[in-house]
Structures are given as structure tokens and as C-alpha cells.
């Protein structure tokens, strides 16, 4: 049976293998698709802003493309429009959002998800007015994202970030930030404000974080220099960063971060984006994120402990 009402935003420069994978997914799904191809940076944001609310919008790409589309949906809401639910066809380097919601990346599994998604409400994070699904980071991770070789990224994918991350550990930059959360202030060398459990793929950065929470988990890392960064890096690969004795995790709805070390980059959903200082909060405009049914069911249970009025967990019936 063919289903109608699906729009897919796709970057045709993603490469032949990814185009063939997308074609295989859509063929298995058997859906009628309006395919919108991007032509320049920021185009996914422009396209998403114009997609009508009765459609189901999927982004075929990585976390950066999803971030662009998310910002387009918020642009449309600010303009007073209803917006469609947003879904994931993971074709990127790390696909952290897909990992976060437990989306199997095999073609048939993605096709099944397109035809029968669950849905959760997410209040995106905002940093200096730009929305994010996953996280914003400052310190060694932002330095890595800002300086990674794009040529190497095309050749070896996530390996390029690993190599640049190692380089940043061996030759650390001086980082000194002040994080203000309410009346509390923290002096740190690295900080990640996250809406997601996962970081850089399947690594767990904060096991209690959730996309559907009305708070962000702020991971505070005071240590600097080779030994501290190496310890943090190893702990992250073991999913134990939050257990380090000098690492704190604070839940917050709003925080500000200033730099005592001059201009320092930010990374937003794995993309380099701007510099400090910054203010981080949660958007007043929630979006509907299409997720696997299992994630929606778990979120439905968790929602019993949340205060999100009139924002139910929904099931999207196939057209």
C-alpha cells in the first residue's frame, strides 16, 4: 500500500552510496515522496520552514542537516504557522539523534519506521537564538569540531574527529569559562549542555538526560591540560564521564557562559557555530519528533513524571 504526505529533505552532495541507500529505504517503504534537494548551506532551514503541517517531514542526512530543519520549523512557528512532525533518515557521520531514539540504521528498519512512527514532543534547546536538538559544547569538544579536517572527514568519517580530538588532548588549548546557573557559578575548562544521553555516536555523556525533559543536563568539567583531557576522553569512551570525581552534572532550564580566555568556539549538534559568550535555554516552541514506537512508549511512561501540559505522546497513523 502506498502512503501519501511524506516530504524528504536531502543533500544530493552527500555522495552516491548515500543516495542509493536513500533510494533503497524509500523503495522498501513504498511511500509517495516529495523530495526536496538542498543546494547550499542553510537551505534545509529554508525548505523546512515552508513544509505544511499536514505533511510528515523527514531529513535524510546527519545531525547538522536535522539541526537546520529544526531551526526552519521554529522559524515557521515564530511566524505563526503550524508545522509538521520531523523525522530522521540517518545518513550522516555520527547520527547521534538516531542513536538517541534507538533507530535501527538498516534500510528495512528505517522504512518500517517511516510507515509507522511514534511521536514525542521536544522542547529544543536555544543558544544565542539558534535551536538545537542534542547539545551545545565549549572546550576541547568545540575545538575539535572547529578544527577537524573536512577532507579527512569525507575520507574516514568519525575517525577524523577522533584524530583531531587526540591532537587537542596532546596539544591542549587554554580554556577558562564561567558558567552561571541561577545563583550558582562554576569555573570550568569544558562544558556540555545536553538534551541527549549520547555524544558523538553511542557514547553516553549523561545517562539521565532525555529529549523530552523540560531541563538540560549541564556537564561541567573543570580539569584542563593533557592528563585531565585524556582522562575525560577515556572515561567518555567507557560511558563513565559523569562518574569522574571532578565532573558535575547539573539540571537547568537556563544558563549563561562567558569566557575568560578570549574568543572560544561553540559546537551545536556537532557543527561549529559561533563563539562565546552565550545564553542557553529551552525554546517556548515545542516540535513533534517522529521516533521508533519503542522510544515513544518509553517516553510515554516517563511523561507521567513530567509537567508538559497539552503535549501528549502521539502515535501517527499511516496515511
CATH of the domain at 74: 3.40.50.10330
Q: Please, which residues have CB within 8 angstroms of residue 231's CB and are 6 or more apart in sequence?
A: 223, 244
Residue 246 DSSP symbol? T
**Taken in order 60, 66, 72, 76, is the CA torsion positive or negative?**
positive
Report the chain's mean pLDDT, rounded to a whole number.
88
pLDDT, residue 163, reads 79
Mark whether 140 and 116 lie in a shared domain.
no
For 290, the enclosing helix (H) or strand (E) is strand 287-291
Per-residue pLDDT averaged across 266-288, rounded? Answer: 92
272-275 long-range CB contacts below 8 Å, 24 or more apart?
272/142, 272/145, 272/146, 273/127, 273/130, 274/127, 274/128, 274/130
Q: Is the pLDDT of residue 219 over 60?
A: yes
Domain that holds residue 143: 130-282
Q: Please, which residues have CB within 8 angstroms of residue 148's CB and are 6 or more apart in sequence?
A: 160, 161, 164
Q: How far is CA 190 from CA 77, 141, 252, 280, in A?
A: 33, 8, 17, 15
**In terms of pLDDT, which residue wins out, 129 or 194?**
194
215: left (phi over 0), alpha (psi -120 to 50) or beta: beta
Q: Is the pLDDT of residue 263 over 80?
A: yes
Mark whether 30 and 11 lie in a shared domain.
yes
The residues with which 265 forms a beta bridge, in sequence order, are: 275
Mark whether 208 and 247 lie in a shared domain.
yes
State the CB neighbour count (10 A cutoff) for residue 19.
Answer: 16
Counting residues of the chain whose pLDDT is more than 90, the rounded percentage is: 69
Counting residues of the chain whose pLDDT is more than 70, the rounded percentage is: 90
pLDDT digits 0-9 by tens, 35-82: 999 999 999 999 999 999 999 999 999 898 999 999 999 999 999 999
Mark whether 206 and 141 lie in a shared domain.
yes
Mark whether 116 and 149 lie in a shared domain.
no
- What distance, in Å, lies between the first and last C-alpha atoms of the chain? 10
The residues with which 199 forms a beta bridge, in sequence order, are: 203
The count of domains in the chain is: 2
CB 115 within 8 A of CB 29: yes
For 141, the enclosing helix (H) or strand (E) is helix 140-147
Mark whether 162 and 256 lie in a shared domain.
yes
* DSSP for 98-115, written as a single string: HHHTT---SHHHHHHHHH
Mark whether 203 and 304 lie in a shared domain.
no
The closest of 60, 70, 5, 6 to 37, measured between CA atoms, is 60
Mark whether 157 and 52 lie in a shared domain.
no
Q: Is the pLDDT of residue 126 over 80?
A: yes
* Residue 288 preceded by cis peptide, ω within 30: no
Per-residue pLDDT averaged across 291-311, rounded? Answer: 69
pTM recorded for the entire structure? 0.87
CATH of the domain at 201: 2.60.200.40
Q: Is the pLDDT of residue 208 over 80?
A: yes
**Confidence at 312, pLDDT banded by 50, 70, 90:** very low
Mark whether 274 and 135 lie in a shared domain.
yes
Mark whether 149 and 266 lie in a shared domain.
yes
Q: Is the pLDDT of residue 318 over 50?
A: no
Mark whether 135 and 261 lie in a shared domain.
yes
Mark whether 199 and 297 lie in a shared domain.
no
Amino acid at each position: 500500500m502506498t502512503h501519501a504526505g511524506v516530504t524528504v529533505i536531502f543533500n544530493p552532495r552527500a555522495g552516491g552510496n548515500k543516495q542509493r541507500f536513500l533510494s533503497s529505504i524509500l523503495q522498501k517503504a513504498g511511500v509517495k515522496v516529495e523530495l526536496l534537494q538542498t543546494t547550499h548551506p542553510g537551505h534545509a532551514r529554508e525548505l523546512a520552514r515552508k513544509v505544511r503541517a499536514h505533511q510528515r517531514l523527514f531529513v535524510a542526512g546527519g545531525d547538522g542537516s536535522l539541526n537546520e530543519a529544526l531551526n526552519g520549523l521554529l522559524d515557521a512557528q515564530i511566524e505563526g504557522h503550524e508545522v509538521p512532525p520531523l523525522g530522521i533518515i540517518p545518513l550522516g557521520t555520527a547520527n547521534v539523534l538516531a542513536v538517541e531514539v534507538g533507530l535501527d540504521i538498516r534500510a528495512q528498519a528505517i522504512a518500517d519506521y517511516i510507515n509507522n512512527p511514534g511521536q514525542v514532543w521536544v522542547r529544543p534547546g536555544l543558544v544565542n537564538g539558534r535551536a538545537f536538538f542534542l547539545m551545545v559544547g565549549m572546550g576541547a569538544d568545540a575545538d575539535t569540531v572547529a578544527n577537524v579536517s573536512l577532507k579527512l572527514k569525507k575520507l574516514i568519517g568519525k575517525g577524523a574527529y577522533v584524530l583531531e580530538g587526540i591532537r587537542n588532548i596532546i596539544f591542549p588549548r587554554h580554556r577558562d569559562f564561567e558558567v552561571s546557573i541561577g545563583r550558582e557559578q562554576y569555573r570550568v575548562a569544558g562544558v556540555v549542555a545536553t538534551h541527549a544521553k549520547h555524544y558523538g555516536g553511542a557514547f553516553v555523556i549523561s545517562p539521565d538526560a532525555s529529549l523530552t525533559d523540560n531541563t538540560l543536563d549541564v556537564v561541567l568539567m573543570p580539569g584542563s591540560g593533557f592528563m585531565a583531557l585524556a582522562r575525560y576522553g577515556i572515561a567518555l569512551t567507557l560511558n563513565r564521564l559523569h562518574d569522574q570525581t571532578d565532573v558535575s552534572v547539573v539540571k537547568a532550564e537556563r544558563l549563561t557562559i562567558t569566557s575568560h580566555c578570549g574568543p572560544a568556539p561553540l559546537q551545536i549538534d556537532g557543527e561549529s557555530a559561533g563563539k562565546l559568550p552565550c545564553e542557553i535555554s529551552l525554546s517556548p516552541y515545542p516540535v513533534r519528533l517522529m521516533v521508533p514506537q519503542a522510544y515513544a512508549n518509553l517516553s510515554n511512561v516517563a511523561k507521567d513524571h513530567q509537567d508538559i501540559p497539552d503535549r501528549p505522546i502521539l502515535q501517527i497513523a499511516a496515511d
